[in-house]
Amino acid sequence: MRGGTSLRISKSGGIDVAEGPGSESSIARLPTAVTAFVGRALRGPVNHPVAVRSYAEFHNVFGGLWQPSTLSYAVEQFFENGGRKAVIVRVVNGGAPASITLPCGTGEVLTLVALSPGSREALRASVDYDNIGANEPDRFNLVLQRVRSPGSEHIEDQEIFRRLSIAPGTARYVTAALQESALVRVRGDVPAIRPERTFLAGSRHPIGYVDSNPDGDDGAPLTDYDLIGSPSAGSGLFALAGADDVHFVCIPPPARDRDLGASVLLVADRLCRERRAMLVVDPPSAWQTSEDAVRGLREFDFRSDHALLCFPRIVAHDRLRGRTETFANCGAVTGALARMDEQRSPWEAGPDQEILLRPGARPAHVCTDAERHSLAAHGINALQSLRTASSRALPLRTLAGGTAASADQALLTPQRRRLLLMGSIERGTRWVVFEAAERKVWQKVERQVQAFLKPLGTSGVFGPQPAADSCQVVCDERVNGPEDVAAGRVNILVSIPSGRLGRYQSFLVTHARDGSRVRPARSHLLPAGTRMTVEGLPVDVPADDTQRPRTLAQELFGHYREPRAEPSAVADGRSPIPPAAGRLDPETIARIHRDFGSRLQRF
């Protein structure tokens, strides 16, 4: 199931073919709290996203709690606080897989190597000749098992390969056949003699197994480079390209005594923008009080409307050490948000609730009402164990602060709702790539998207807007020109009301043969006879004195830069804002917004 719509999937020649929703299907709402975790684990697939729906399933695949793995504790806290589905990406720094040596007679051996590196990957293999004829000396059967620990009889996974062959060119050649295995691969040359039948130690009864050798290695602690990974290799953070419907991304600190590096946050923020997800940032370990958090946020130099941060860290029982320890809070936060979504999801209207921890974990610092309001003013959400006496909870915030392009992007729930809308519409309209680019198809797309948005508008999700005028969908010649038709592209302009009356947020969904993308747009009204030109932003625009200075993230990744001049404070008699030595603090940004009001250029 993906986004509530059943997909029929078939495999052919290593290619997965999925049948998605078509033009006659309604657009499905994406799930709201699927959380991706990227980090170190005891065992399991490397740089491959694996979905788990319980901590028991995580234990079976990735080995459970492990002291060097902050990810294992974050996943445990995620499920303990109400999480329902997690996507795990295991990252390693070096490491070596265990091997299995199968004797073949005359001193030769067939060597199998575990697919996943690590010292805790306990495998064993058994060889027999059942139903193998005397005239087939190259054939054998192979049983592979993963057990809980060396010498254990608790089998966690098993694979059976019948009638394998040591002869190259045959249909069941052992090297080719084991490419389908999720446990091992063949290493080195295949001997000219088939492996010997395995026997139980001390007898000739053919039910024995050959255990893996103790040559597996867990590798070194992770670095920022390991977590970032490579886009070409699909490693680290870039392994999430193979995961669907991820809404939150958590990157626990690489070690208990080390915080996440700024480079990881920048790359993760870029990835979340592309994937329409929210990055959950852990507070640094040095933030012990709310004053530390407010002061440290100014030095943090990281702001994003695709990120959220909760303070403080949490205190929970460490089952391996047998005492309470302080942990990063990303797992507990996303678990609590998933539990809150079951009561009222971002698809529904209503006020925000407080982020409350379940028993078993508590905040490392108890915030007062004044501290909670101070943190919220700076874009930090307070983490609590008990509800406050206030009749109305503070709105949850993103980490955008004063850098948000609109008020909605500074609030967590409207921002999550916008990202879910964009993802749902993009997913539900992919069928247009396989249709002829003509007016009849464009009209069908408009009706499909309108049918998806109308119930949301009437339910009040977009505020007290008239239902008939709440959303705008354009898919015609105004956004699809002759060059788009020739290239097989289909553009869909969608505008939804923002939190302020009369203001809209617009985005453009583009479907093409090489993939789909969603981009923000600047206009939501296209009168008849006008045309929107869909162009990419210039890569290098000469800077001048009227432009805002580029931030580090913009210099590294080419984020959007406002090409128009900022309004002048001197022109209308107001005193100019003195230049700051560093980044403007939230109080100064708030004063600028009050002074200029609607004169500020907004997205």
443, two tokens: 């009209």
HSE (side-chain half, CA atoms, 13 Å) at 14: 2
> Rounded mean pLDDT of 202-217?
81
324, two tokens: 């309470």
When pLDDT is cut at 50, 70 and 90, the band that residue 268 belongs to is very high
In the chain, what percentage of residues exceed pLDDT 70? 79
Query: Residue 559: what pLDDT?
Result: 43
When pLDDT is cut at 50, 70 and 90, the band that residue 492 belongs to is very high
Q: Is the pLDDT of residue 209 over 80?
A: yes
Query: Residue 498: what pLDDT?
Result: 80
In angstroms, the first-to-last Cα distance of the chain is: 35
Average pLDDT, the chain: 83
Query: Residue 59: what pLDDT?
Result: 93
d(CA 166, CA 173): 6
Four-way CATH pick for 31-93+221-413: 3.30.310.10, 1.20.120.1200, 3.40.50.2300, 3.40.50.11780: 3.40.50.11780
Better-predicted residue by pLDDT, 402 or 36: 36
Phi-psi region of 104 (alpha: psi -120 to 50; beta: other; left: phi over 0): alpha
The dihedral built from the CA positions of residue 327, 330, 331 and 332, taken in this order, carries a sign that is positive
Radius of gyration of the chain (CA): 28
Query: Residue 490: what pLDDT?
Result: 92
Query: Residue 298: what pLDDT?
Result: 86
When pLDDT is cut at 50, 70 and 90, the band that residue 387 belongs to is confident
In SS3 terms, 376-412 reads as HHCCCEECECCCCCCCCCCCCECECHHHCCCCHHHEH
Query: Residue 578: what pLDDT?
Result: 45
Query: Residue 515: what pLDDT?
Result: 87
Give the CA distances from residue 90 to residues 42, 46, 69, 229, 247, in Å, rounded to whole numbers and listed in that order: 9, 5, 10, 11, 18
Q: Is the pLDDT of residue 211 over 50?
A: yes
- Start and end residues for every CATH 3.40.50.11780 domain found in the chain: 31-93+221-413
Give the CA distances from residue 348 to residues 60, 79, 305, 352, in Å, rounded to whole numbers and listed in that order: 36, 24, 21, 11
Give the CA distances from residue 62 to residues 22, 39, 72, 216, 221, in Å, rounded to whole numbers and listed in that order: 37, 11, 9, 15, 17
* 35-39 and 86-90 strand pairing: parallel
In the chain, what percentage of residues exceed pLDDT 90? 60
Query: Residue 242: what pLDDT?
Result: 86
Query: Residue 408: what pLDDT?
Result: 79
Phi-psi region of 304 (alpha: psi -120 to 50; beta: other; left: phi over 0): beta
HSE (side-chain half, CA atoms, 13 Å) at 272: 26
Q: Is the pLDDT of residue 337 over 60?
A: yes
Is the distance from CB of 47 to CB of 241 less than 8 angstroms? no
What are residue 155's DSSP bridge partners?
147
> Rounded mean pLDDT of 172-185?
95
Query: Residue 497: what pLDDT?
Result: 85
77, two tokens: 């806290």
- Of 206-220, 303-317, 496-510, 560-574, give the lowest mean pLDDT range: 560-574
Query: 536: Cβ–Cβ under 8 A, 6 or more apart, which residues?
Result: none
Cα 385 to chain center, whole Å?
27
- Of 68-82, 346-360, 568-582, give the lowest mean pLDDT range: 568-582
Query: Residue 469: what pLDDT?
Result: 62
d(CA 497, CA 417): 12
> Rounded mean pLDDT of 81-101?
95
> Rounded mean pLDDT of 238-267?
93
d(CA 14, CA 90): 23
Give the number of other CB atoms < 10 A from CB of residue 59.
18
Give per-residue pLDDT as tens, 520-554.
887 555 555 555 555 544 444 444 444 455 544 44
- Of 77-86, 221-230, 400-409, 468-477, give the lowest mean pLDDT range: 400-409
The pTM score is: 0.81
Q: Is the pLDDT of residue 580 over 50?
A: no
Q: Is the pLDDT of residue 570 over 50?
A: no
Query: Sheet harboring 323-327: ordered strands across?
Result: 323-327, 314-318, 361-363
Is the distance from CB of 511 to CB of 429 less than 8 angstroms? yes
Helical H segments across 518-602, by residue range? 552-557, 586-596
Q: Is the pLDDT of residue 141 over 50?
A: yes
- Of 108-122, 286-300, 545-559, give the lowest mean pLDDT range: 545-559
427, two tokens: 């997913």
Query: Residue 203: what pLDDT?
Result: 61
Nearest to 534 by CA among 525, 522, 542: 522
Give yes or no for a cis peptide into 482 (omega within 30° of 0): no
Q: Is the pLDDT of residue 603 over 50?
A: no
d(CA 492, CA 478): 10
- Of 316-330, 373-387, 414-428, 432-446, give the lowest mean pLDDT range: 432-446
